[in-house]
Amino acid sequence: MAALGLGPAQIESALTAASLAPSVHNSQPWRFRVRRDRVELHPDPSRKLAATDPEDRELRLSCGAALFNLRLALQSMGVRPLVSMLPGPDAPGALAVVRRGGTMKPDDESRALLDAIPRRRTNRRPFLEAAVDPRQRHALVRAAELERSWLHVVTTPEDRALLKRFVQQAHEIQLGDQGVQAELAAFTGDRPGATDGIPPASAGIRPELQDEWAFRDFHGPRRHPGKDYESDPLVVVLCSFYDGPLGDLQAGQAMQRVLLTATTHGLSASFLSQPVEVRRVREELRRSLGGMLVPQTVLRLGFSTPVPPTPRRSVAELLIASEEPAPL
Ligand SMILES: Cc1cc2nc3c(=O)[nH]c(=O)nc-3n(C[C@H](O)[C@H](O)[C@H](O)COP(=O)(O)O)c2cc1C
């Protein structure tokens, strides 16, 4: 499995880093084909979520996040990653191909982001009543910009009320959608030995009707009296500049740079994806942002207590054998 001038152990370590990316329901919808001159990133069609993510948009966001981790890991090994996104006939079915574009020494920022990969987690617990300071907010905005994306920070009470309404509307639509609920159930709860999904320890507390934001219910424990969500989290909408697979992949990389940057600042993050998953609500959200930006994911950020990691499939399971046809 030697590739890009690196030995098998280094390639395995780079793919392990890639696999620690976040993904919808921890579905880990990625696979890799390793050749001497390249690493190909493919979607895993067996891990699509047809009801929750009918256009595979979140699948590509997740794969974009894995690609960002892979880039960081290769940089730390001295490889300057040359990335072709949606390479077409060059690698049929691949979302991206990474080649060796020369050598490089990673800077301090890349090292800090790489170190943050195993520490980053989705934290669904209530956050502390402490505000994210402007310097940290600026770092998150810059992280999205560096990956050619846009972070819309929800600041005004009107924006906040509108977004909350979109979350609520979409949440209710999804509650009534049996397909969405079945996919959620398939990845939630106590599943001994599972290498995917969201275990009870990562589920956060059970959402309740009076909560300000409608959180998805991953069957966490009922809360103790007084254990409510924070009153004023930082809420941001990560956007791409264009619609379609390329915008999704770009946004996935930006999402991961934002999440890792947050981790380096001691911030926790969780997602509020309902309004971007329900097409009708997503269009309304898009219009509310001026019509040009494409909303890709909604994040809640703040300070919290540590949460345990979620499981991952082994690298061996993620590899496409060279003779196997590419999964289209
Ligand atoms: C595109 C995308 C959308 C997500 N949407 C939600 C969501 O709406 N609610 C939620 O609690 N978690 C959401 N997640 C978080 C995943 O469930 C989480 O990444 C996965 O369980 C792996 O856990 P980890 O992030 O702690 O590694 C989303 C993740 C991604 C990448």
pLDDT digits (tens, 9 = 90+) for 225-239: 776 888 889 999 999
**pLDDT at residue 108, as a whole number:** 97
Alpha-carbon gap, residue 112 to 252, rounded angstroms? 19
CATH topology of domain 134-302: NADH Oxidase (3.40.109)
User: How large is the average pLDDT for residues 289-312?
Assistant: 97
User: How large is the average pLDDT for residues 182-194?
Assistant: 96
Check if 57 has its Cβ closer than 6 Å to any atom of ligand 1.
no
**φ, ψ for residue 122 (rounded to 5)?**
-80, 125
Ligand 1 centroid, distance to 66 Cα (angstroms) = 13
pLDDT band at 325 (very low <50, low <70, confident <90, very high): low
Ligand 1 centroid, distance to 20 Cα (angstroms) = 12
The pair of three-digit structure tokens given for residue 305, joined into one six-digit string: 């207590």
42 close to 82: Cβ distance less than 8 angstroms: no
Check if 62 has its Cβ closer than 6 Å to any atom of ligand 1.
yes
> Is the model's pLDDT at 328 over the cut of 70?
no
- Quick check: do 8-119 and 134-302 share a fold? yes
Of 16, 20, 24, best ligand 1 pocket probe by most atoms within 8 Å of the beta carbon: 24
Q: Which residues of 55-67 are buried (b: 16+ CB within 10 A; e: fewer)?
A: ebbbbbbbbbbbb
Helix (H) or strand (E) holding 97: strand 96-103
Ligand 1 centroid, distance to 296 Cα (angstroms) = 13
Ligand 1 centroid, distance to 142 Cα (angstroms) = 22
Domain range annotation of the chain: 8-119, 134-302
Q: Does CATH number 3.40.109.10 belong to domain 8-119?
A: yes
As a whole-number percent, the residues of the chain with pLDDT over 90 amount to 88
* Nearest atom within ligand 1 for CA of residue 124: 11
* Nearest atom within ligand 1 for CA of residue 23: 31
| Residue 43, burial from CB neighbour count under 10 angstroms (0-12, 13-18, 19+) | buried
**pLDDT at residue 230, as a whole number:** 87
Q: What is the pLDDT of residues 112-141, one digit of tens each?
A: 999 999 999 999 999 999 999 999 999 999
Residue 254: partners with Cβ closer than 8 Å, 6 or more residues away:
64, 143, 144, 146, 147, 148, 149, 151, 238, 240
Mean pLDDT of the chain: 95
Helix (H) or strand (E) holding 186: helix 178-186
Ligand 1 centroid, distance to 122 Cα (angstroms) = 6
